Amino acid sequence: MFKTKELAPQAHLKTLNPSIHWDEYNMRVARTVERLEPKHPSGKFLVSICSSGIGGVNGHAVIESYVAPAVDSDATAPDAPVLLIAGGLSPRSATALGEDVVKFLNAGAEKDDDVSIALGRRSRSLTWRSFAVKQPNEPTPNFSAPVLRPRKAPPAVFLFSGQGPQHLNSASVQLICISSSNLLVSLLVGRQLFATYPVFRNSILDLDDVFKARTGESFIHDLGIFGAAAPTRTLPDTWPIAVTLPALTAIQLALFDLLTHFGLRPDVLIGHSAGETALLYASGAGSKEMALEIAIARGKAMTVVEEKAGGTMAALSCSAEDAVKLLAQAQEKLPERVVEIACFNAPNAVALAGHVDLIDEVVAISRTEGIMARKIVTRVPVHGRLMEYCAEEFRQLVGEVFERYPGDHTPKVTTWSTSSGEKLDKFSADYFWYNSRNPVVFTDAMDNLLAEYPSPLVVEMAPHPVLSAYVAEFGVPQSSITCPLRRSKTYIPRQEQGTLLTALGQATVAGFNKIDFSILNGRQTSSISPRPALPEYPFARKKVEYFPELSRLVFRQMNAKNGPLNFPDLHVNTATHPELAGHLINQEPIMPAAGFIEMVR
């Protein structure tokens, strides 16, 4: 039998018109619906309601029978942090609402995730927004300063960063990468995301199957990268390139799946060095399995360079012109050795690749001249001539991957290449070779991208904000740059979840309305949205007299009249209504007939 209560809930209808006998009404609807044949192919009933109005206006509504959603199977864990959005029509109201929400949640009146869903839904129509991330069993933090969202959300640029040498520690995996002129250490693994979010976990498990099929080892069980169990293989302090590249690609692919699952999707894509591997999947040009296989093939080929080239890399905080002068000075001492600029990262930041002894010489000269320079802990001098050691094997192994995954491999999302500095038309085995062999022209690519997509939100897809400092040098405000992952050297519970929610909060404040707060809080999209008793919206209330002292309406109603057209408010002349002076007939100002008709009314 059709459940009319679900079609028109009595409690809701009674609030519309309490005088109607809704029980009797529902019974009539139920008897009508029972006679409806046939049903929709989905098994649901359909009701068609038509209405005709004055002037030929017609209305037609088709109502589908309601089906109760399944019970949530993946509700937010009680110890999970939540994202809170405070939205208002002015900065004052957004700030006041944030303060009220803090008091409200600290009083424990409602569940944190219910409040998160309700506030997220309500903020979509509000122009000023701020956010806070509440950790479980902790006081609610203050909300960020309200920001005026633009009428149109800025383009979302997903930036996939490159890699560096990695090693295990007692907590997880570390990634040493270049940021500005310094080497930063970040925890790579994403173990907290793996344990918390099924989408991230399932993506990693799928990729682990691919990695095991191609290498005979598991990320989780053998290397101990994503799981909590002790690894069966002990990795050296400097990870081999054959592990580094696939591990980095795997976490980028899983992170992309997680963000798009929540509703944050890219408008533009760009990658740096090894980060371009994950672009294949993010752009829709290939599957994530194919992307991981390319990373595996690249790592295997580069093992030749790692073992035979005797090379390394370094980071310099100077312009490309100054770097060329430093290289020339060093080359004079060791003319037979190789060194060159491998990455143009920013106007005042480059990376070098070459033989170890020559790199040491360049670093020493740079420091004597007051230029910050550091060696990168790696034995793979990517983006330089020493990559020729693996040219043949690289082309063969990556080419075999493309043979196993046939197709045109054309990006479906606008993708910028840091190998050419221009938009990328197609992925190929040759492209990935040039991506590894040739310098990274990140500066050219960013200049061109920002010229076409000004004022973007840049989401760095990396285990740590590696390139964020570089992006800021191109004029992108720090408030418009975010990274969904960041780990400190010491273990902090729920840090990865909090960092992820902070990135989504920044996106929401920037104007993105497609983030699904129900999914974000572990609910199914078909679930009924919770309606917690939120704090009242802080309206700026103002007392307005019903009969203002100078109201013309009051003047007309209260003054004595000597006839329908004879009282002070109807004295009309050029003194009281100067605009009449422009309405002349035979050089006399005349009041139009419509004015007299209006007074009679």
pLDDT of residue 31: 53
pLDDT of residue 49: 80
Select the more confidently predicted residue: 552 or 501. 501
Could you give phi then psi for residue 127, rounded to 5 degrees? -90, -30
d(C-alpha 436, C-alpha 298), whole Å: 9
- The string over 394-419, giving b where at least 16 C-beta atoms fall within 10 Å of a residue's C-beta and e elsewhere, is beebbeebbeeeeeebebeebbbbbb
Q: Which of 80-94, 200-214, 556-570 has the lowest mean pLDDT?
A: 556-570
Confidence class for position 185, pLDDT limits 50, 70, 90:
very low
pTM confidence score:
0.78
Q: Tens of pLDDT along 278-299?
A: 999 999 999 999 999 999 999 9
Structure tokens at 491: 């273990």
pLDDT of residue 176: 34
- Checking if the pLDDT of 269 tops 90, the result is yes
Structure tokens at 317: 């905080």
- Checking if the pLDDT of 236 tops 60, the result is yes
Helices (H) and strands (E) in the chain, counts: 20, 19
**501 three-class SS:** helix
Average pLDDT over residues 294-310: 95
Q: Do domains 72-153+513-542 and 156-284+419-434+442-511 have the same CATH topology?
A: no
Q: Tens of pLDDT along 441-455?
A: 999 999 999 999 999
- Checking if the pLDDT of 417 tops 90, the result is yes
- Checking if the pLDDT of 235 tops 50, the result is yes
Residue 541 CA, chain-centre distance (Å), reads 36
Q: Which of 221-235, 302-316, 470-484, 525-539 has the lowest mean pLDDT?
A: 221-235
Domain 156-284+419-434+442-511 in CATH: superfamily? Answer: Malonyl-Coenzyme A Acyl Carrier Protein, domain 2 (3.40.366.10)
Confidence class for position 172, pLDDT limits 50, 70, 90:
very low
Confidence class for position 263, pLDDT limits 50, 70, 90:
very high
- Checking if the pLDDT of 171 tops 80, the result is no
- Checking if the pLDDT of 472 tops 90, the result is yes
**What's domain 72-153+513-542's architecture?**
2-Layer Sandwich (3.30)
Beta carbons within 8 Å of 199's beta carbon, 6+ residues apart: 257, 258, 261
Confidence class for position 189, pLDDT limits 50, 70, 90:
low
d(C-alpha 397, C-alpha 378), whole Å: 22
Domain residues of the chain, as ranges?
A: 4-64, 72-153+513-542, 156-284+419-434+442-511, 552-600
Q: Tens of pLDDT along 361-377?
A: 999 999 999 999 999 88
- Checking if the pLDDT of 41 tops 70, the result is no
* Rg of the chain (C-alpha set): 33
Burial of 457 (0-12, 13-18, 19+ CB in 10 A): buried
Confidence class for position 558, pLDDT limits 50, 70, 90:
low
Q: Is 414:423 a contact under the CB 8 Å cutoff?
A: yes
Q: Which of 11-20, 189-198, 268-277, 431-440 has the lowest mean pLDDT?
A: 11-20
Average pLDDT over residues 539-550: 71
| DSSP code for 459 | E
Closest CA to 342 of 380, 308, 306, 302: 380
pLDDT of residue 555: 58
Q: Which helix (H) or strand (E) holds 300?
A: helix 288-308
Q: Which of 150-159, 318-327, 528-537 has the lowest mean pLDDT?
A: 528-537
pLDDT of residue 137: 87
Select the more confidently predicted residue: 556 or 107. 107
Q: Tens of pLDDT along 328-372?
A: 999 999 999 999 999 999 999 999 999 999 999 999 999 999 999
Average pLDDT over residues 268-279: 96
Average pLDDT over residues 458-472: 91
pLDDT of residue 486: 82
Q: What is the pLDDT of the chain when averaged over all its residues?
A: 83
CA dihedral defined by 370, 376, 377, 381, rounded to 10 degrees? -130
Percent of the residues in the chain that have a pLDDT greater than 90, as a whole number = 58
Q: Which helix (H) or strand (E) holds 397?
A: helix 391-404
User: Does residue 165 have a cis bond before it (omega within 30 degrees)?
Assistant: no
Confidence class for position 178, pLDDT limits 50, 70, 90:
very low
Average pLDDT over residues 539-543: 84
Select the more confidently predicted residue: 556 or 481. 481
CA dihedral defined by 215, 218, 224, 230, rounded to 10 degrees? -120
d(C-alpha 74, C-alpha 520), whole Å: 11
Structure tokens at 449: 């991208």
